[in-house]
Amino acid sequence: MTDDLVIIAGGGIGGLATALTLHQIGVPCIVLEAVREMRPLGVGINLQPNAVRELYDLGITQEDLNQVGLPAKEWALVGLNGNEIYSEPRGLLAGYNWPQYAVHRGQFHMLLHQRLVERIGRSAVRLGSRVTGYRKNPDGSVGVLIENADRSTSEVKGTLLIGADGIHSAIRAQMHPAQPPIHWGGAVMWRGTTWAKPIRTDASFVGLGTHRQRIVFYPISRPKPRTGLAMINWIAEVTLDNPGSWNQRGWFRQVSIDDFVHHFDNWVWNWLDVPALIRQADSVYENPMIDRDPVPTWQDGPVALLGDAAHAMYPTGSNGGSQAIVDARVLGAAMVEHGATRRSLAAYDDKLCRPISQLILRNRGAGPFGLLNIVDQRSGGTFDNIDEVISREERAEFMASYKAAAGFAIEKLNKAAPTIPNGARVAAERSAHSSTTAKP
């Protein structure tokens, strides 16, 4: 194995997007992934237009994405009788040059893996390789410590290490040994997919309830022509009054429906039957809504963090997966400018660490779902005419302030130059060891 390699710890969405990007710009890389087998795990996630733009630039096409999901049409909050509180178009319908996609996380992950294997070969991802830490070598290179599937240990030497090993990142734990434990605000989410009839359009995100108890759901497949049923991704969420009482057994585990469906027993209306939606799911996962306190930097010499390892955040803004893809592209752009060097890691860190850290803290609030709380307080969630509960101006003002903070800037994105210019490559002679202005 050549020590000119960039080593990527973690073959999730962020790690694979990074590998595809580095391959595109001519930087040799390898992904070390802990699991022994790549499997299509998870349920739905949203790919925002800024991430879809990057995927297109990576040669992941619209047809590819249509195989694993569908373009989202609208985002809507509704009352307990299904009447609209607020809605807005999404993706192309909102004026973006790129769609927003609602996809099956596992199938999308497999798509990235398949493209990587086609382009670099099967050896691009070394399965059964759990990264346990790193060593900064005196010659400027980095030694990556691995626990193999058979429990033996080994070390791989590389020019840079990208820690894309998710929310429980071993790389981050070494880089920031004093970081506080995972932050949990007391909310538990149960996620699943159920074949059911889509509500409103055939591609609407719908949210109802309150900030403390709600369900959101959206299709991640087109309706089947014969039955009209689509795969609906749903997330049922409850904030516990006494979080200490909750039996926390892991961070993302399959659970029995009977463990939690009682929270939604009364959520049956003529337009929506929440317990039935939940009960008909194939499998259900429980995960507490967790994130991590921001850290001041994502770089330690030849090592950088990316994706959830850098910025695990609440899913309030549906942007965790998208940000991991954008991270990969910003890192690639920095390498085009500075070579695959520590300077590129510093440029990437300078560009993203501070603003994304602010986003983590902002996502801890109710976000756009705060509007549901106002409606609940004023009407109990059921109303005939929303204007009598909260005026159009007040609704628009509430959402505008959230969107300004979350940076959903359509014109800015549409006008932005590609993150990585088409055909850009990293010059071969710009290796890590030649960097003169490296951070320690």
**Residue 291 binding ligand FAD, by CB under 6 A:** no
Spatial distance between the Cα atoms of 98 and 383, rounded to a whole number of angstroms: 35
Stretch that binds ligand FAD, among 257-265, 268-276, 308-316, 338-346 (CB under 6 A): 308-316
Site for ligand FAD in 46-105 (CB under 6 A): 105
Stretch that binds ligand FAD, among 8-16, 133-141, 237-245, 421-429 (CB under 6 A): 8-16
Choose between 107 and 382: whose C-beta lies nearer to ligand FAD: 107
**Residue 187 binding ligand FAD, by CB under 6 A:** no
Choose between 58 and 389: whose C-beta lies nearer to ligand FAD: 58
For 276, phi then psi, to 5°, come to -70, -40
Stretch that binds ligand FAD, among 11-19, 345-353, 384-392, 429-437 (CB under 6 A): 11-19
In whole angstroms, how close is the CB of 55 to ligand FAD at the nearest point?
A: 13
Choose between 164 and 375: whose C-beta lies nearer to ligand FAD: 164
Half-sphere exposure of 107 (CA within 13 A, CB side): 18
Choose between 294 and 321: whose C-beta lies nearer to ligand FAD: 321
Contact map string, positions 323 to 362, toward ligand FAD, x by CB under 6 A: -x--------------------------------------
In whole angstroms, how close is the CB of 99 to ligand FAD at the nearest point?
A: 18
Site for ligand FAD in 409-438 (CB under 6 A): none
In whole angstroms, how close is the CB of 348 to ligand FAD at the nearest point?
A: 15
**Residue 320 binding ligand FAD, by CB under 6 A:** yes
Please pick, from the candidates 10, 69, 301, 368, the single residue that binds ligand FAD as defined by CB under 6 A: 10
Site for ligand FAD in 110-149 (CB under 6 A): 130-131
Q: Are 307 and 14 in contact (CB under 8 A)?
A: yes
In whole angstroms, how close is the CB of 305 to ligand FAD at the nearest point?
A: 9
Please pick, from the candidates 49, 288, 294, 307, the single residue that binds ligand FAD as defined by CB under 6 A: 307
Q: Give the N- to C-terminal CA distance of the chain in Å, as an integer.
A: 25
Can you give the binding site for ligand FAD, defined by CB under 6 A? 9-15, 32-35, 41-43, 45, 105, 130-131, 164-166, 170, 191, 252, 307-309, 315, 320-321, 324
